[in-house]
């Protein structure tokens, strides 16, 4: 089957209600997306947003990202919430905040569209420092202790029926 990957870019001049609206639309789909990338605008020289004067576009801080990630995690608990474009603009401590807020995935490799990514070894060193365990791609999120112990039951709506997922 086809998996849905749909997220948003923060820093395009949007308001908080626009950010909430994006997550509300995604969380009320018949099935949550498999992947929700949360991006911070990376202005690229030669593009319309790369040439704009400072008018609020691109002014995204770690707390903006953490709020968006945490909200996505709450309303879509089984979705891979990806800390994506713009990650290089944040310190290791700020990235840690975003992971602790609920990001459980990154894109890694040489290039992510028009923005550079950290080298694989650099990401691995950060994950080692933070005590994070990686998982193979395309296998969904690792189950949490409460989910594996049966203390938490994740439910979702599939069309007209309700599905329950027990760990």
pLDDT digits (tens, 9 = 90+) for 66-75: 999 999 999 9
In whole angstroms, what is the distance from residue 75 CA to residue 154 CA?
A: 11
Which of residues 153 and 83 earns the better pLDDT score? 83
In whole angstroms, what is the distance from residue 94 CA to residue 35 CA?
A: 22
Q: What is the DSSP letter of 137?
A: T
Q: Which tokens is 90 given? A: 């944040």
Instruction: Read off the pTM.
Output: 0.77
The residues, any chain, with a CB within 8 Å of residue 87's CB and separated by 6 or more, are 40, 95, 106, 117, 118
Contact 30, 2 (CB under 8 A): no
pLDDT, residue 163, reads 52
Binned at pLDDT 50, 70 and 90, residue 160 comes out as very low
Q: What is the DSSP letter of 89?
A: G
The residues, any chain, with a CB within 8 Å of residue 68's CB and separated by 6 or more, are 8, 10, 19, 23, 38
């Amino acid at each position: 089957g086809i998996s849905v990957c749909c997220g948003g870019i923060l820093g395009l001049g949007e308001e908080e209600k626009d950010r909430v609206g994006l997550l509300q639309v995604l969380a009320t789909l018949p099935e949550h997306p498999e992947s929700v990338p949360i991006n911070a605008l990376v202005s690229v020289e030669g593009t319309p947003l790369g040439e704009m004067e400072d008018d609020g576009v691109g002014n995204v801080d770690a707390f903006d990202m953490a709020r968006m990630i945490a909200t996505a995690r709450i309303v879509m608990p089984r979705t891979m919430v990806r800390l994506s474009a713009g990650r290089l603009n944040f310190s290791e401590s700020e990235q840690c905040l975003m992971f602790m807020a609920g990001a459980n995935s990154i894109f890694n490799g040489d290039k992510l569209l028009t923005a550079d990514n950290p080298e694989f070894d650099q990401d691995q060193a950060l994950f080692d420092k933070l005590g994070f365990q990686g998982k193979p791609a395309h296998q969904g999120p690792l189950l949490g202790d409460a989910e594996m112990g049966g203390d938490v039951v994740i439910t979702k709506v599939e069309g007209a029926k309700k599905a329950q997922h027990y760990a």
